[in-house]
Amino acid sequence: MYKFAAIQMASGPSVGANLLEADKLIAEAAQAGARVVALPENFAIMGESELDKVHIREVDGSGPIQTFLSEAAKKYGVWVVGGTTPLVAEDDNKIRAACLTFNDQGERINRYDKVHLFDVSVPGTDEEYRESNSIEAGDIEQVADSPFGKLGFSICYDLRFPEYFRRMVRQGAQVIFVPSAFTSKTGAAHWEVLLRARAIENLCYIVAPNQGGFHTNGRQTYGHSMIIDPWGGVLDCHKAGKGFAIADIDIERLSQTRASFPVLSHRKFYVGEHHGS
């Protein structure tokens, strides 16, 4: 068994201040025994406007945010799943929202670009989000090998698309990360139930670090960062304020559960795929 941690922040517009806070929380999680530490979406910046992140976007492989992630992983001897880092896109006015993962030697082992973009008006509020105005969508899922099991990667709004999670599980994913900045309104209604549903239907662990608190741009995020087991049980939840959820991930237990309850092998219909593929 290995401990995983899901860090919760309330990031602001200052990259430097956010990185200092992230460093402190990674250190605390490592001290608590975590071998894998996941940061929330937009951990490095929650700007006054959606375009603020475009102004600090980095070239893939170089930049202060990427350097921070690599150095923190090596310094604390943990794998770091870096929420999202704004990277250069083909469109000069947009970014790629990239979840970058570094091993405990500070080496990058995976990049996942957010596929599903949050272009919605939140019912019952005056909140409107148009991520496609500043983010260029990715187009492929990512699964990576690790000493802690096969890792899958998603970001926030991806959570609402079960077929995306099933694609990762069909590639062997055992632990799926969901770094997020869920709004307070949608989080209260859907966050836990969606996370538990994705864990149950895929018989996988879910590690979900979330933004949590009030942000200087007027936005409020839901928090409740949590880690969920393959049976849908919430192993730990950090409800409010900065901090982290931490729990043991038991891949042997997951394998036994999948073997004794072989729901994944009973699938009959394949969305967007040929039956039996």
Assigned token pair, 54: 């475009």
Assigned token pair, 24: 């402190």
Query: Residue 181 carries which side chain, given as an amino acid letter?
Result: A
Respond yes or no: is residue 268 known to be catalytic: no
Respond yes or no: is residue 3 known to be catalytic: no
Q: Which residues contact 178 (CB under 8 A, 6 or more apart)?
A: 154, 155, 156, 158, 159, 195, 198, 206, 207, 208, 209
Respond yes or no: is residue 90 known to be catalytic: no
Q: Tell me the C-alpha distance between 122 and 197, whole Å.
A: 22
**First CA to last CA across the chain, in angstroms?**
33
Q: What is the DSSP letter of 216?
A: T
Q: CA of 241: how far to CAs of 126, 223, 229, 264, in Å?
A: 24, 7, 23, 37
Q: Tell me the C-alpha distance between 46 and 48, whole Å.
A: 7
Q: Tell me the C-alpha distance between 156 and 54, whole Å.
A: 19
- Nearest 5°: the CA angle 9, 15, 16 is 100
From 3, 141, 156, 242, the catalytic residue: 156
Query: Residue 120 carries which side chain, given as an amino acid letter?
Result: V
Q: Tell me the C-alpha distance between 273 and 99, whole Å.
A: 26
Query: Residue 211 carries which side chain, given as an amino acid letter?
Result: Q
From 28, 41, 131, 136, the catalytic residue: 41
Contact in structure between 138 and 112 (CB atoms under 8 Å)? yes
Catalytic site positions: 41, 114, 156
